[in-house]
A and B are shown apart, each in its own frame.
Chain A
């Protein structure tokens, strides 16, 4: 086989790796804590719908909540126990958000139920059923994006997928959960890849792994040898952040640059994280829903860095206590990696499907935000930008409040918020923060614009309705006047010329009937109009509350 030619994406950054702290020891099973807090929304999309009641006993693998809509994911319990509360609890979120959670008291028996029928011979199962299984098992992107995997597998009609990418780049510093997973469960990852190939009818599976993980690459190669599947290729890629960003990875492996406007599926690619692939394997072949994940607990702020197989819903504080606790000088706790993750205000938040890493930093490694100096337009940010933007220009426009320019001229929405610009800025300007701010401002304005145009539409409709009513009324009056005039005209000659007595008496009941029918029609129209308005009213309420 010919050597694959790799492509270097523009920009990029070499942060300090800090992988060795946590990747030397095998994944350890976290003990079951006294309490699990399971947020109903651990994925992109609609919040899951609760299926259990407070006081109910549940078994391991039992469904706690079902997917609410197409883009959503169900939740399952990691152990047996009793639901003690369904209430708002602190969840991992940059703002310290409280969100609905199911609180569970494990009973220590760990009684399980078989959630799904295991399909060891998945090749004989139809793609449709497999996709449903992936959906029912609550599989979402475990690389941190937590997008429901089944939605991705549905693909776009008319654009077949030829290549599945298994993303094992793990380019963020400190994080090693995928590294350990690939070393220890390489077979699960590759078999998950086989399921993906089968579901999508794709021909090739590329497994991209940064070359700072030689053991993982060796483990994958060994597993592939055993599997003997010629459709797979394990590709070591140069270590350069953010090689794990989907479009950057596709470019590295294939040389195809795909802009933000296009989905990768349009070009026949589909990417999944290696941990997601392993979860898909477990869901299909073992019939297990997603109830645990591997979490890297690391940083200079913890006693014993390492990787843990953690039940979803375990509080970070419990996990850290189990792992030996903090260093005395711990100063910051980050959810996710140091480049793209966010700082937690408290450790009493649960581990969710998104939690690939909990990073505790000692004071020396937790940079306090220095006083930002003015931008000198040195261009370091532009040099580092993996999507070829001009962050210094975006900063200028975002700060000036010229969001239209930031969007149109500077292509603000191409920004993938990788954090390189902030990291390399010699003036220590929190650039990414400005870009997030500008994006939310633009979204907010769009929403307001939509609202105001809706209100204008409604107002215009009301005006035309009033106008129409007026015209109808006038038309009716005119008709009546014409009728009266006609009556007068017909009456006067009738009395004088012919014996019109019969015709007059014959016309009178007709007129009456017509008047009654018209009145009834008017009443009906009024009623209908009122009803239509009533129907319009709730949507208006929704509009204002949304």
Chain B
């Protein structure tokens, strides 16, 4: 009797790409729910717009490159990128903002580099950086948390605002949006205000900004679940958070007037999301064990430097992109130490 032959191993594959991506999407749900709860329907609209535009650009690029559509569209990678970008955008941004961002990310950051697995940079962060430098006004108008907004928008009102730019009658744009805690920290620090004076603002709680700290904790929850599911390893997130905490604590103890305590930083902005979901993107991160620790430490340092001393309020996107550039070099200098080679 004759048999068709294949290469070993002859066991069912233990993992699948689409399965990994599904797990990441699942882990994004708690944080996204918290974001929707505190910042309204705009977040959900962003996610849906971004995913739709992402899938469309992906399909277009696959078709142009003559690649099969089905396996690459169903792997879920573009949905993850689109979702990650969407939750970084201001909740009441005009509809074209997520569309432009994700389209640029998919076309330029992903497919022009060779598609899935070949991109040097994290696509979502490329999209974010492009939007931030191209549309600074739209990108810095964050919706206020519901509890602070004069008139929390319903789904219909949110849609009207996003697609038509129409505000509900009697509501001013200023009553809906405001600076993020990190923005405020940056501007007020620039004006010479002390950390204690800043925390008197309405948006601050004793350990972060209203809504923001819960969102950060929800991202942390999703991240811990990814760790438990072994989708990601501990090295990058732990290295980022450890480095960042040590730095911010040191500076806070040295100069408590001008440097915020670590807890505020950890629970503000995109640090948790970045540490667990963005920096851990395996394609653009370092892959060796020691390399991942260096990669994470680099991001931790850069985020702290950007937040503390540079012009941008948050630094996660730029920190990740800068370390993306360094990842191949880090991998080169941290090669495998095979079994038994540790001792001379």
Contact = CB atoms under 8 A, between A and B. Distances in A.
B335 A334 contact: no
Contacts of B5: 94, 96, 332, 342-345
Interface string A290-314: 0000000000000000000000000
B14 A373 contact: no
Contacts of B335: 390, 393, 409-411
A413 to B, nearest CB: 9
Contact of A259 (B1, B13, B332, B341): B341
Contact of A375 (B7, B12, B117): B117
A344 B11 contact: no
Nearest to B77: A376
B15 A433 contact: no
A388 B338 contact: yes
B283 interface: yes
Interface stretch (A198-206, A227-235, A378-386, A478-486): A378-386
5 contacts: A260-B339, A377-B282, A382-B287, A393-B335, A422-B7
B15 A339 contact: no
Contacts of B2: 345-346
Interface of B is mostly: loop
Contacts of B6: 332, 343, 366-369
Interface string B1-26: 11111111111111111011000000
B20 A339 contact: no
A151 interface: no
A427 B76 CA distance: 13
A367 B10 contact: yes
A326 B339 CA distance: 41
Interface in A9-35: 9-10, 13, 15-16
Interface in B87-120: 115-118
A387 B3 contact: no
A367 B332 CA distance: 35
Given A344-B5, A410-B336, A393 B331 contact: yes
B118 A374 contact: yes
A419 B7 CA distance: 10
Given A257-B342, A374-B117, A331 B3 contact: yes
A341 B11 contact: no
Given A376-B17, A379-B287, A424-B15, A259 B339 contact: yes
A414 B11 CA distance: 23
B75 interface: yes
B9 A422 contact: yes
Contacts of A344: 3, 5
A496 interface: no
B339 A365 contact: no
Interface in A420-475: 422-428, 430, 432-433
Interface of A: 9-10, 13, 15-16, 94, 96, 173, 247, 251, 257-260, 262, 317, 326, 330-334, 338-347, 359, 361, 365-371, 373-380, 382-383, 386-390, 392-393, 409-411, 414, 419, 422-428, 430, 432-433
A15 B287 contact: no
B71 interface: yes
A425 B20 CA distance: 11
Contacts of B72: 373
Given A334-B8, A378-B282, 11 more contacts: A94-B5, A257-B340, A317-B1, A340-B9, A342-B8, A367-B13, A370-B13, A390-B287, A419-B8, A428-B13, A432-B7
A338 B9 contact: yes
A374 B116 contact: yes
Contact of A376 (B3, B71, B116, B288): B116
Interface string B272-299: 0000000000110101110000000000
Nearest to B9: A419
Contacts of B342: 257
B198 to A, nearest CB: 41
A13 B230 CA distance: 14
B1 A380 contact: no
B9 A345 contact: no
B137 interface: no
A358 to B, nearest CB: 12
